[in-house]
A and B are shown apart, each in its own frame.
Chain A
Amino acid sequence: MKFGMLSRWLLVGEWKAHLTQAAVAIIAIALGVALGFAIHLINTAAFNEFSAAAKSLSGQSDLQVRGAQSTFDESFYPALAQHNGVEAANPVLELDVAIPSSPGERKNTTLKILGLDIFRAASIAPDLIGIPAEDRLFDILADDAIFLSSAAMEWLKVKRGDPLQLRVGTQTITLRVAGGLVRTRAGQRIGVMDIGAAQWRFQRIGQLSRIELKLMQGINHEAFKKTLAQELGAQHVVTETADQETRVANMSRAYRVNLNMLALVALFTGAYLVFSTQALSVVRRRHQFALLRVLGLTRRQLLKQILLEGAILGAIGSLLGLVFGYAAAAAALDFLGGDLGSGFFPGIQPNVHFDSFAAAIFFMLGLGVTLLGSAAPALEAARAQPAPALKSGSEDAALSKLATPWPALACLGLGGLLTQLPPIFNLPVFGYLAVALLLIGGIALMPRLSALIFSAVFFAAAKSTSKAVPILALARLANAPNQAAIALGGVLASFSLVAAMAIMVTSFRVSVDDWLKHILPADLYVQTAASGDTRGFMPDEMKAIAAARGISRADFFRSSQLMLDPSRPHITLIARPIDWTDPANTLPMTGEAILPALLPKDAIPIWVSEAMVDLYDFTLGKRVTLPIGASSPTFIVAGVWRDYGRQFGAIQMRLADYQALSGDRKVNDAALWLQAGVSTEQVIESLRRLPFGSALEFSEPGQIRALSLNIFDRSFAVTYLLEAVAIIIGLLGVAASFSAQTLARAKEFGILRHIGVTRRQILGMLAAEGGLLTALGIALGFVLGWCISLILVFIVNPQSFHWTMQLSLPWKGLMTAALALLVSAAFTALVSGRHAVSGNAIRAVREDW
């Protein structure tokens, strides 16, 4: 049989006649695939570049010995260099050094500087060797020389021979740019110095960050690593390059997975749109398909024909999606950077690479969801008995299976059950599945719900009004609920997603704002730089600050990094004055704390963030050991606090305990409370007069809050984009389903025109139908979105990022979005309907179908 030609005729004929509907389906799929593919490409490019950049700093070493704290004593280096099985050992001091900002400016920038022993590094990390000028070969050992990567030179706007100022504590030191480096990755900003010079200049005499080891040939790496770790004890960890990759992967995994899930949600909405377009298009052509069946087209051929239509839409949409996705990824990396503003991958310049395997996956995903969306209408059309289907009025019966509520209720029930399951590999897999099931169940329940609701409204309206337009509109919605439900589903899907994301983001933002208010109780905060390893105050400087005029109380903080698990990012240790009789005064506690009287005498109290409970099982009352000081004493978890700043874990302890254990007297930041009647400006002025006053940076709590919320908004910008996409797809759905329905109802409108209904009344009826459907979609979408937001707030977020939050509803924003959607949908319905009333009414009645 010439099925190919017939198929082509039918496809071309349909698409020529209804190009807009085909285009809408293609755009919806293209948007979903483009978002998913772009986010995948951005994540992969950023992750690979960050991982490669981090790896390049370890050279060609087999193992790295690191301290559990950020630096350790170099005294055991000689023994390690001569250890049995070690061919070469390369000591490294790695520091993030602050770049001084000009007065009044608050710059959060640091330069990564490596202190290397040139003679050792030559064999293990030859790429990181500096290239001195031909007449100054000894610069590689000079104590004032620094070699910069070309990206660093460009960023700092310096060249060979220029001075470079860096901040160390309250001091500013000046180094000389002595040249470039042998080879670094594009965009990688690093500097290299002689290790002795770096230790001296950055006040790290006798300190190392790591020792890189190259093992002799034939040595079993795994066995050597195990033995060495036992020999070194808990104060040191032995890592491989693979551990570093795992650490980088763990650092950003939850963020990346969340973004991918949001993109998949967009693809899901697109798939629903394809389903609704295909379902309504099949319903519209029900008589035509019945005729083809009568003329001899078999069920299988009809099924094939409708699926082919869907597959072609899916293939074109997916291909376009891949092209747009690639372009969007390239643009986003260019304008927003690899972390889309979230701060996960600082200091790298990733480039987008076409990933053909991922492209194939996303293409199949786009095609797959389109075929799934087409399958239900195709099966219905193929199963329909041709003789009854040839008669008019069977359209809504074609969708009658949609009205069965049981699959929908099963989805909702299963979704509810899945919310009770724990995460898998620290990812809220069941949480996301529950969201998907709630969406599917909610949409699938629409035909039954809309029939019930509109029937009741119709019944009530029929008693109270005799106006034609509302009665006609309500009669249609009540008596053809399945077609109405398809349009409703699009509104429901998009509004529930918008509501869920808006509630989640608002809950998070309000919680972060409350948290910031709690953790910033002082009147003024002082530091020497916003970040970096070399910032901080010495004891005499602390005394001077505390004694400055106008200050009633000064608290000092010491924060440092601890590595408890080589495969996870560092955790943060914060030492500060804490009132252990009432820690909630200082810390945003999530529950009860253990009071001093109940604490054992032989353990030091620590208060841990929620992430420590999830990731390290540091539960309330548990005894733990931490690599602080030489003796690794026992600590007890005395309370759990909420931390939105460090998702990989943080521990707070009393500064006095920390100093007693570590002997470290240095602090990083100061929180100042002012005497009554003294202004912030007066205190800043008096602190500026201190000998080191010019190195101080001041922040008021309001400024820190504003800056933090600004960063929050920037990192959530991508979710706003996804919300906008969901709204656009939802409106496209309304447009597609209404134009499909009005096309199919041309004869109905013709009859109405014959019996005296004016064009204006028909348009009014369509606008009323659109408005009523959208209003119901919004109301039910809000309920569904609220349920989904509960999963996002209380399951997905704690399981992904290990923090809890309170629920807050953005009523104003939701009302605005609802109103905008309502007006747009009624308008869309109206515009779609104009086509139906613009033709000749008599012609419409006599139309063949």
Chain B
Amino acid sequence: MLELRHIGKGYASGRRVLTDLSYILDSGKYVAIMGESGVGKSTLLNLIAGLDTPDTGEVLIGGIAMSSLDDDSATRLRRKAFGFIFQAFHILPHLTLSQNIALPLLLNGISGERIEERSEQMLVAVGLHGRGRDFPRQMSGGELQRVAIARALVHSPKLILADEPTGNLDPDTARDILMLMRAEIKANGATGIIVTHSHAAAATADLVLILTKDGLRPADSADSAASHLLR
């Protein structure tokens, strides 16, 4: 499903964040990526989504090299195959919850009837049944993130990218959201990548990877102990 081949990325300031990173992720997996601040976790997500281009190497989605796509083609692929969940929920403030959730459907040309039906399904799935006409300003942080999850999954994408999805939430709400996210990703048969600092969040994944300057490696018990000490 996702293959990273010798990815390298630096910034104009001269700072290098990723060097010769390679990894293959199978379909249907739910992976958490952890690492120190500034190591390049969000950059990696942007590269996978085609929102940024690597200096070296290639990102392949379903065998298609993202670098071979122009901006419009990358956008169309993202529209169809990707779902995004952010730390700062990014819900459009002037659209209702239903309209926010339906955005990917509209972008993918789904007909009006199907849009309503599918948005309602997702509202039920994320526990917001009957709140479709509400506006974001009436919602709590946890509720907003539920909307974001519904939006990320509404068009049944193959790959879900989540960047610190519980970073703005209290522990109880975060736990609920993480369970919901996992359940929905699994129910949709999607592949999920979650970037997080939280071990609790990482614990919901099938596999935890640590991103260091040397590349991605599976987490071991030392990682867990170190993080407990830091807490």
Chain A contacts to B: CB under 8 angstroms: 1-3, 5-6, 9-10, 13-14, 16-17, 287-288, 291-300, 385-387, 390, 846-849
Additional pairs, 15, CB under 8 Å, beyond known A295-B103, A296-B75: A2-B115, A9-B95, A10-B95, A291-B90, A294-B51, A296-B78, A296-B80, A296-B107, A296-B108, A390-B90, A846-B141, A848-B88, A848-B91, A849-B88, A849-B93
CB closest chain-A residue, reference B80? A296
The answer to whether A2 touches B112, judged by C-beta atoms less than 8 angstroms apart, is yes
Q: Are A1 and B141 in contact (CB under 8 A)?
A: no
A2 to B144, CA, bound (A): 25
With A1-B109, A13-B94, A291-B90 given, is the CB distance from A6 to B103 under 8 Å? yes
Contact B92 A291 (CB under 8 A): yes
Q: Could you tell me if B104 and A295 are in contact, using CB atoms closer than 8 angstroms?
A: yes
**Cβ contact within 8 Å between B112 and A17:** no
A298–B90 touching, CB < 8 Å: no
A840 CB to nearest chain B CB (Å) = 11
Residue of A nearest to B78 (CB): A296
Contacts A/B (CB < 8 Å), 9 sampled: A3-B106, A10-B95, A13-B95, A295-B84, A296-B107, A296-B108, A298-B76, A390-B86, A849-B90
Binary CB contact string for chain B from 185 to 206 against chain A (1 if under 8 A, 0 otherwise): 0000000000000000000000
> B89 at the A/B interface (Cβ < 8 Å)?
yes
Residue in A1, A6, A848 whose CB lies within 8 Å of B89: A848
Judge whether A299 and B51 touch: CB under 8 Å. Answer: no
Task: Tell me how far the C-beta of A464 lies from the nearest C-beta in chain B, rounded to whole angstroms.
Answer: 34
B52 close to chain A: CB less than 8 A: yes
Docked CA distance A294–B71 (Å)? 11
Segment 72-116 of B: residues with Cβ below 8 Å from A = 72, 75-76, 78-80, 82, 84, 86, 88-95, 99, 103-112, 115
Q: State whether the Cβ of B49 lies closer than 8 Å to any Cβ in chain A.
A: yes
Contact indicator B72/A300 (Cβ below 8 Å): yes
Is B8 engaged at the interface, CB distance under 8 Å to the other chain?
no
Determine whether the beta carbon of A386 is less than 8 Å from that of B112. no
Supposing A1-B106, A17-B94, A387-B52 touch, asked if A297 and B89 sit within 8 A by C-beta, the answer is: no
How far apart sit A291 and B85, CA to CA, in the bound complex (Å)? Answer: 11
Compute how far the CA of A695 lies from the CA of B84 in the bound complex, rounded to whole angstroms. 95
CB of B96, distance to nearest CB on chain A (Å): 9
Minimum CB–CB distance for A284 against chain B, Å: 11
Is B72 a contact of A16 with CB atoms below 8 Å? no
Cβ contacts under 8 Å, A9 to chain B: 95, 99, 106
Chain A min CB distance to B153 (Å): 13
| Chain A residue at smallest Cβ distance from B95 | A13
Complex CA distance for A165 and B46, rounded to whole angstroms? 94
Residues of A within 8 A of B75 (CB): 293, 296-299
B90-A6 in contact (CB<8A): no
Please, which residue of chain B has its CB at the minimum distance from the CB of A14? Answer: B94
The answer, among A1, A300, A846, A849, for a CB contact under 8 Å with B107, is: A1
- CB closest residue in chain A, given B108: A1
Are A287 and B90 in contact (CB-based, < 8 A)?
Answer: yes
CA distance A6 to B92 in the complex (A): 12
Residue contact B103 to A2, C-beta cutoff 8 Å: no
Centre residue among B46, B76, B92 by max chain A CB count within 10 A? B92
CA distance A10 to B102 in the complex (A): 12
A2 to B155 alpha-carbon distance, docked (Å): 14
Cβ of B79 to closest chain A Cβ, rounded Å: 2
CB-contact partner of B112 in A5, A294, A385, under 8 A: A5
Within 8 Å CB of A385, what residues of B? 51-52
Q: How far is the CA of A292 from the CA of B106 in the complex (A)?
A: 11
> Given the complex of chains A and B, what is the CA–CA distance between A228 and B7 in angstroms?
93
Number of A-B contacts defined by CB within 8 Å: 91
Q: Is B10 an interface residue (CB 8 A)?
A: no
> Quick check: A288 and B71 within 8 Å, CB to CB?
no
Residue numbers in B under 8 Å from A291 (CB-CB)? 90, 92
Asked if B136 CB lies within 8 Å of chain A CBs, one says yes
The reply to whether B107 and A297 form a contact with Cβ atoms under 8 Å apart is yes
- Which residues of chain B have C-beta atoms less than 8 A from A13's C-beta? 92, 94-95, 99
B114 to chain A, nearest CB (A): 10
- Which of chain B's residues have a CB closer than 8 A to the CB of A849? 88, 90, 93
In the bound complex, do residue B93 and residue A294 qualify as a contact, i.e. CB atoms below 8 Å apart? no
- Chain B residue at minimal CB-CB distance from A293: B75
Tell me the chain B residues, 126-155 only, with Cβ under 8 Å from chain A.
Answer: 136, 141, 144, 151
B73 and chain A: residue at smallest CB distance: A298
B175 to chain A, nearest CB (A): 20
Specify the chain B residue showing the minimal Cβ separation from A294.
Answer: B84
In the assembled complex, the Cα of A711 lies from the Cα of B110 at a distance in Å of 69
Measured between beta carbons, the chain B residues less than 8 angstroms from A295 are 78-79, 84, 103-104, 107, 151
Nearest chain B CB to A844's CB is how many angstroms away? 11
A484 to B80, CA, bound (A): 40
In the assembled complex, the CB of A664 is this many whole angstroms from the nearest CB of chain B, namely 81
A10 to B49, CA, bound (A): 24
The complex places the Cα of A9 from the Cα of B119 at a distance, in Å, of: 15
For B161, the closest partner residue in chain A by CB is A294
Going nearest first, the 4 A-B pairs with the smallest beta carbon separation are A296-B79, A13-B94, A1-B109, A387-B51
| Shortest Cβ distance from residue A291 to the other chain B in the assembled complex, whole angstroms | 5
Which of A5, A293, A390, A848 gathers most chain B CB within 10 Å? Answer: A848
Decide: A299 and B92 in contact? CB cutoff 8 A. Answer: no
The interface residues of chain B lying within 8 Å CB-to-CB of A297 are: 75, 79, 107
Q: Say whether, besides A298-B75, A848-B136, A292 and B103 are in contact (CB < 8 Å).
A: yes
**Contact between A6 and B106, CB atoms less than 8 A apart:** yes
The answer to whether B76 touches A296 (Cβ under 8 A) is: yes
Q: How many whole Å from A845's CB to the nearest CB in chain B?
A: 11
In the complex, residue of chain A having the shortest beta-carbon distance to the beta carbon of B83: A295
* CA A288 to CA B95, docked complex, whole Å: 11
CB B71 to nearest CB in A, in angstroms, measures 6
Task: State whether B110 touches A2 (Cβ < 8 A).
Answer: yes
B78 touches A294 (CB 8 A): yes
| Shortest Cβ distance from B152 into A: residue | A295
Which residues of A are found within 8 Å of B46, using beta-carbon distances? Answer: 387
B141 to chain A, nearest CB (A): 7
Q: How far is the CA of A846 from the CA of B93 in the complex (A)?
A: 13
Query: In this complex, what residue of B is CB-closest to A13?
Result: B94
Q: Which residues of B contact A390 (CB under 8 A)?
A: 86, 90
Give bound CA distance, A16 to B86, whole Å.
Answer: 26
Give the distance in Å from the alpha carbon of A55 to the alpha carbon of B205 in the complex: 92
The chain B residue sitting closest to A291, CB to CB, is: B90
Q: Which residue of A lies closest to B81 (CB)?
A: A296
**Nearest CB on B from A246, distance (A):** 57
Measured CB to CB, the closest approach of chain B to A308, in angstroms, equals 15
Contacts of B115 in A (CB 8 A): 2
- Complex: A287 Cα to B78 Cα, angstroms: 18
CB distance from B95 to the nearest CB of A (A): 5
How far is B108's CA from A455's CA once the two chains are assembled, in angstroms? 48
What residue of chain B has the Cβ atom nearest to residue A392's Cβ?
A: B88
A-side contacts of B88, CB under 8 Å:
848-849
Q: How far is the CA of A297 from the CA of B88 in the complex (A)?
A: 20
What distance in Å separates the Cβ of A794 from its nearest Cβ neighbour in chain B? 50
CA distance A390 to B49 in the complex (A): 14
Q: How far is the CA of A4 from the CA of B64 in the complex (A)?
A: 30
In the bound assembly, the distance between CA atoms of A288 and B92 in angstroms comes to 6
- Shortest CB distance B77–A (Å): 9
A2-B112, A298-B72 given; A16·B94 CB < 8 A: yes
* Residue in chain B with minimal CB distance to A1: B109
Distance between Cα atoms of A93 and B9 in the complex (Å): 94
- Collect the chain A residues with CB atoms within 8 Å of residue B76's CB: 296, 298
Q: Which residues of B contact A386 (CB under 8 A)?
A: 51
Chain A contacts for B91, CB-based, 8 A: 848
A297 and chain B: residue at smallest CB distance: B107
Residues of B within 8 A of A296 (CB): 75-76, 78-80, 82, 104, 107-108
The answer to whether A299 and B94 have CB atoms under 8 Å apart is no
- Shortest C-beta distance, B132 to chain A (Å), equals 13
Highest count of chain B CB atoms <10 Å: which of A1, A293, A294, A387: A294
A193 to B46, CA, bound (A): 93
Residue among B82, B93, B111 with max Cβ neighbours from chain A (10 Å): B93
- Give the distance to chain B from A49, nearest Cβ to Cβ, in Å: 51
How far does the alpha carbon of A297 sit from the alpha carbon of B99 in the complex, in Å?
15
